[in-house]
Structure 1
């Protein structure tokens, strides 16, 4: 994927039921069993994240069920069942499976710590358990939304809050690899005159914070419609020590006109979620300085519809059905983009918003494509 393009479809990443010579009925039945097992494991990962069980094993070392219960303040019987399930699933190790249940000691393998217990690591994936559980909370309302054609009610922030799946990517890669790879952006952000950055749909603020850390003179304005996300973003900026240069506000991207003079406007993995992406891009164009740059980063999807498709495309469509498209359907004038925003669709939006061209930047990731929109 040297050009940042999705891996082409082939038999290796095809859905199991499409392989030549396979009994498709039996293959689908096996696939459903595997999907159920995977879903249940994600539910138990959610429990491990919410209760700090992985972190307790990583920090405190091997533990029996009683020791883990004491460390985390949970009931021993629940701790024991969770540890046994994690061990039989291969997520954690058990010293002696033949020992008596209360005598068994469990450990989190060092190789699994980045994935399950270290949210600062780019390999961290335990947030997926939180994402899956939150998405499942409103499935009954989503069924009704399918019938009516509107949006299910927004999910409340509590009890777990929104996951931060991109946090580690931003703090490790955004200012250290990705932005420095775009020469004129990097030069402008390092200039003696402080650059102004607008981070549109900033969520909990980690992209804004990462830019402020990497470029000590910039001033970043992060905007988002989610009040709870903005509250969390402000807290995150305070803890990160950049609140003097990073501000957050509850603002619609389409209402940014009039602020003006931004050297860089960024939209990270959010344009496809917006009900009116053309309005948002138009507003972004209006607030750019004369030589300002608009950077849009969105999902790494195929250029054209393919079926069956790669695991990446299947994942994007899955999130589109249960989260991204429903989130945009409350607006009667919605563009109803969905998570699978192909390059041609983005180009169409950009041209309608008054941009003259779209460049795909040569930044290689397994999950995102970087676009530069030319005024």
Structure 2
């Protein structure tokens, strides 16, 4: 039988796929623009020509010219034909040039770069079902992930998420021990330490290079005397009667999330709280088909699911577990009081207690 091809649908999907391909090309340009300081030089500068930008940044004009053209074609810069100049709006600068902005994105392009670099490992894993440990990826994965999440945590963790927990801010102000499990580069640990000088903070991660980076970040922030980082598995760190145990976008990466949470229950003080921050997801796939979840599902298959399998794979949640599955895991671990305290387009923020 010969199928009839809908030419309109074919053309529309081809153009959509080309747009997606173009996004991959654009990501390289964004990373270069960030690392070379091109966006920073454009921010607040008004219309700038390629010669002016090259002179200000110490770069070669002919390369900069094509880079500017790519940015104008993508709609990242405004092109002024009369003057042959290019302008970065204040709104776009928040995304591309302001490293303190909660929506600053250039470092996040390190993540797909690391995914491409790990394609041969993924091909093998898809065929064999084996895992890929976090530390076996290209180093850009750890750096890109940390940088991507850092500013979002900076904008919300202390000002919104912790105050949404019952009685936790008061306890932090009085002084408690806090565990950050899967601490990565330690940005969340440092943020809390800066905000609550009477409490003591412990960051645990099984990835030694991340622990080294976290220790450096704490030292640069001036909180080393109240922050300790330790290379430790999420189910083997020493209990210290923690008043708060946090999992920031980490639990779904772990091979035995129930076992990890049971260890957390054992490590909690009697009135302690678990703070679980996970990627936002609806419970049903048909309610979860968006641009953000497209990104999360791809990352899950290459990174989160892969590490969970490498970590034993007792229960592989993936990056889109959803509220119902997370509640079930928390209940199985002995955390009976569970409530969602906040939601963003990117995260679910959950409080859990015994």
Same fold (TM over 0.5): yes
Q: Among residues 27, 31, 46, which one is paired with 1:46 in the alignment?
A: 31
Instruction: After superposition, give the CA deviation of every residue in 1:98-131 in whole Å (9 maximum; x if it has no partner).
Output: 66xxxx4433222211100112111222233222
- Structure number with greater CO (CA < 8 Å, separation at least 6) is 1
Instruction: After superposition, give the CA deviation of every residue in 1:268-307 in whole Å (9 maximum; x if it has no partner).
Output: 1111111221221111111101111111111110122327
Counterpart in the other structure of 2:189: 208
Post-superposition offset of 1:203: 1.3
Counterpart in the other structure of 2:3: none
**Closer, same or farther in 2 for the Cα pair 1:172/1:308, shift >3 Å?**
closer
- Flag structure 1 segments of 5+ consecutive residues without an equivalent: 1-20
Q: Indicate whether 1:149 and 2:129 are aligned.
A: yes
More off after superposition, 317-326 vs 21-30: 21-30
Q: Indicate whether 1:345 and 2:325 are aligned.
A: yes
CA contact (8 A) 1:116 1:125 kept: yes
Counterpart in the other structure of 2:69: 84
- Flag structure 2 segments of 5+ consecutive residues without an equivalent: 1-5
**Closer, same or farther in 2 for the Cα pair 1:78/1:160, shift >3 Å?**
farther
More off after superposition, 331-340 vs 169-178: 331-340
Q: Among residues 209, 224, 227, which one is paired with 1:243 in the alignment?
A: 224
Structural mapping, 1:189-204, within 5 Å: 189-191=172-174, 194-204=175-185
More off after superposition, 144-153 vs 36-45: 144-153
Counterpart in the other structure of 1:253: 234
CA contact (8 A) 1:93 1:107 kept: yes
- What is the rounded CA distance, in whole Å, between the counterparts of 2:79 and 2:88 in structure 1? 9
- What is the rounded CA distance, in whole Å, between the counterparts of 1:227 and 1:56 in structure 2? 36
CA contact (8 A) 1:49 1:126 kept: yes
- What is the rounded CA distance, in whole Å, between the counterparts of 1:285 and 1:352 in structure 2? 11
Q: Indicate whether 1:219 and 2:200 are aligned.
A: yes
Structural mapping, 1:361-372, within 5 Å: 361=341, 363-372=342-351
Post-superposition offset of 1:23: 4.8
**Closer, same or farther in 2 for the Cα pair 1:141/1:75, shift >3 Å?**
farther
Instruction: After superposition, give the CA deviation of every residue in 1:153-187 in whole Å (9 maximum; x if it has no partner).
Output: 61232699334111112222211122112241112
- What is the rounded CA distance, in whole Å, between the counterparts of 1:308 and 1:353 in structure 2? 26
**Closer, same or farther in 2 for the Cα pair 1:246/1:114, shift >3 Å?**
same
Q: CA RMSD in A?
A: 2.5
Counterpart in the other structure of 1:26: 11
- What is the rounded CA distance, in whole Å, between the counterparts of 2:78 and 2:12 in structure 1? 31
Counterpart in the other structure of 1:4: none
Counterpart in the other structure of 1:176: 159
Post-superposition offset of 1:339: 0.7
Post-superposition offset of 1:22: 10
Counterpart in the other structure of 1:167: 150
- What is the rounded CA distance, in whole Å, between the counterparts of 1:354 and 1:182 in structure 2? 19
Q: TM-score scaled by structure 2?
A: 0.89
CA contact (8 A) 1:265 1:294 kept: yes
Q: TM-score scaled by structure 1?
A: 0.84
Post-superposition offset of 1:148: 1.2
- What is the rounded CA distance, in whole Å, between the counterparts of 1:132 and 1:332 in structure 2? 25
Q: Indicate whether 1:187 and 2:170 are aligned.
A: yes
Post-superposition offset of 1:79: 1.7
CA contact (8 A) 1:46 1:133 kept: no
Classify the secondary structure of the residue corresponding to 2:204.
strand
Post-superposition offset of 1:353: 2.2
- What is the rounded CA distance, in whole Å, between the counterparts of 2:217 and 2:59 in structure 1? 28
Counterpart in the other structure of 2:261: 281
